[in-house]
Structure 1
Amino acid sequence: MNNLPKLAIYTPEDVEILVSTMKRTSLSFLGKMFVNNDISKHHILIINQTDKEHQLISNVPNVRVINCQEVGLSKSRNLAIKNTVKPIFVITDDDVVFSKDFAITIAAGYTKYPEAGFISFQANTFTNKPYKKYNNKERELVKKRKEISLSSIEITCKTKDIVENKILFDERFGLGSYFKSGEESIFFQEILSHHIKAYHIPKVIVCHAEESSTSNPGSNKFIRARAAAKYLQYGNLSILWMVKFLSFLIRKKHIKVSSIIKKYKEGYQAIGEIRKM
């Protein structure tokens, strides 16, 4: 009996929330984020991208702060990942509101799937509607299945798996970077390429405003970022992927047939640009 493996049991104490923000000088913004929870019972790391005139200081033992003068959301995420100290981390922004007992939900997920290095959860809007269309089936996420659309605020990871495999966000992608979105899908593909077990649990952990224009599949910014990200995954075959993707956008009425040549040029140009970077 003594030779049986010890089961991993995680609690909220094992979870650290990695918050990206800019030019903050007060911790007051955390009040809204944790309005449904006791903030004193959560471990928080804030990355404050700022200047020398706007420094954030924490005198709260469970809240750590790193002020930096870098620009770019992916750089902020990466600095947080490099400095997290808990077994599980949650990626988030300063404009969300966490659901009641969200950390219990996350810890329970990793207790249920102790082999997991990545678990995605779900988000609602502030009107209590799904943040986007979700597959509500609890499941393992694998490469062979239909492409998964991820938002940063849904992502949680096991620190050991991410740090040991040196997985970080691609800093060419994300708000404040050359390509304004797409960093989540590249990050996730990197996780799968290292054979890290990934799961989706259809439970809401956070609320956020409705998706922005950078998440609009028909926008030039989205098409450019998506095409560049696919080049990293497929190489020159991404040019053929563009045809399939644009056909999908037309079918879903995200773009008009009359705009297909212009949209293709946007994607093709982005592929050329990422090749040179």
Structure 2
Amino acid sequence: MKRDNLDFLIPMFPFCHFSNFSILIINQTDDEYLLTSEFPTVRVINSNEIGLSKSRNLGLKNVTGKIILIADDDVVFFENFQENIIIEYNQNQDFSAICFQTITKKGHLYSKYPKERKKLNSKELRKVLSIELTFKIEDVKKENCLFNEFFGLGGKFQDSETFFFLKRMVHNGCKVIFIPLPIVIHEAFSSSDDASSDRVIYARMAGYCKSHGIFAYFFLFKYMFFLLRKYNLSVPEMKKKFGIGLSGIYDYKLILNKNLDSRYE
């Protein structure tokens, strides 16, 4: 957001110049911070819209190439990441998307990944970071797979945008596989990791309503027990968190009632 030069790309590719790669930057900004590029391989779209999913959907409409990798501006790529991605797609040609691993800056795996390559179930899809996700743009466009703009940072429900994108891919017939191979380095914490924050609770309960309908209330109680065990919250804090979860379910039900979204999962 609000970038006015390309210097942020330099530490992302420490092994070569960033212009060696085909990059599309969606810069959500205003007229004070406009980004331009002098490199033919680095394209820029300055957008006045706000929201992570809106940014990614704008990117999907304007990408070139065959295989797309989503990149945040605070990651560092491994030197051989591009070659490894291409090798895996050549070996798994029936799959529309391949999810990889992230390594923390301390050299550890970002999360507890499956030990072997496999198709991911719904619970495992929820853990996929956007920076681990690659996909064939032709398949995504053919199956009309977009990011749900109600979800994601800057949206109404600020979480789970990658999960619902993958769920939509699977629902529409795209095959998704996980490969236990790291391609990127990131801090050991992401915006979705604070499970006790009001933002995450509100968004996740809305997401449970989207995925499970009336059973979202069951997941709300289950989530409250999880918070109690992990964070040892007081009774007043738990009451507040429960109310926030209820609001997430209620507000998403309003969206469904107005036919603004669909429970395709």
Normalising by structure 2, we get a TM-score of 0.89
Q: Tell me how large the CA RMSD over aligned residues is.
A: 1.9
**1:202 partnered with 2:173:** no
- Which of 190, 193, 215 is the matching residue for 1:237? 215
Task: Decide whether the 8 Å contact of 2:126 with 2:160 is kept in 1.
Answer: no
My pick for the range that moved more, 205-214 or 253-262, is 253-262
**1:141 partnered with 2:136:** no
SS in 2 for 1:92: coil
Name the CA distance, whole Å, in 1 between partners of 2:44 and 2:120: 33
Name the CA distance, whole Å, in 2 between partners of 1:40 and 1:100: 14
Task: Decide whether the 8 Å contact of 2:125 with 2:163 is kept in 1.
Answer: no
Task: Decide whether the 8 Å contact of 1:25 with 1:56 is kept in 2.
Answer: yes
Q: What's the counterpart of residue 74 of structure 2?
A: 95
Name the CA distance, whole Å, in 2 between partners of 1:248 and 1:229: 17
Task: Decide whether the 8 Å contact of 2:125 with 2:166 is kept in 1.
Answer: no
Question: How far 1:220 moved relative to its partner?
Answer: 2.0
Task: Decide whether the 8 Å contact of 2:35 with 2:46 is kept in 1.
Answer: yes
- Which of 76, 81, 99 is the matching residue for 2:55? 76
Shift of the 254–103 alpha-carbon distance from structure 1 to 2, 3 Å rule, reads: farther
Name the CA distance, whole Å, in 2 between partners of 1:97 and 1:254: 32
Q: What's the counterpart of residue 35 of structure 1?
A: 14
Q: What's the counterpart of residue 206 of structure 2?
A: 228
The residue type paired with residue 52 of structure 1 is D
SS in 2 for 1:75: helix
**1:264 partnered with 2:252:** no
Q: What's the counterpart of residue 59 of structure 1?
A: 38
Task: Decide whether the 8 Å contact of 1:217 with 1:254 is kept in 2.
Answer: no
SS in 2 for 1:45: strand
SS in 1 for 2:96: strand
The residue type paired with residue 89 of structure 1 is I
Task: Decide which structure has greater strand share.
Answer: 1
Question: How far 1:64 moved relative to its partner?
Answer: 0.9
Shift of the 40–147 alpha-carbon distance from structure 1 to 2, 3 Å rule, reads: closer
Name the CA distance, whole Å, in 2 between partners of 1:126 and 1:36: 16
Task: Decide whether the 8 Å contact of 2:100 with 2:183 is kept in 1.
Answer: yes
1:126-168: CA deviations, max 9, x gaps?
222222232232111244x766412111111110111111111
* Count of residue pairs the alignment pairs up: 254
SS in 1 for 2:250: helix
Summarize the alignment of residues 87-236 of structure 1 with structure 2, pairs less than 5 Å apart.
Answer: 87-143=66-122, 148-212=126-190, 214-236=192-214
Task: Decide whether the 8 Å contact of 2:97 with 2:134 is kept in 1.
Answer: yes
Task: Decide whether the 8 Å contact of 2:2 with 2:30 is kept in 1.
Answer: yes
Unaligned runs of 5+ in 1: 1-21
Normalising by structure 1, we get a TM-score of 0.85
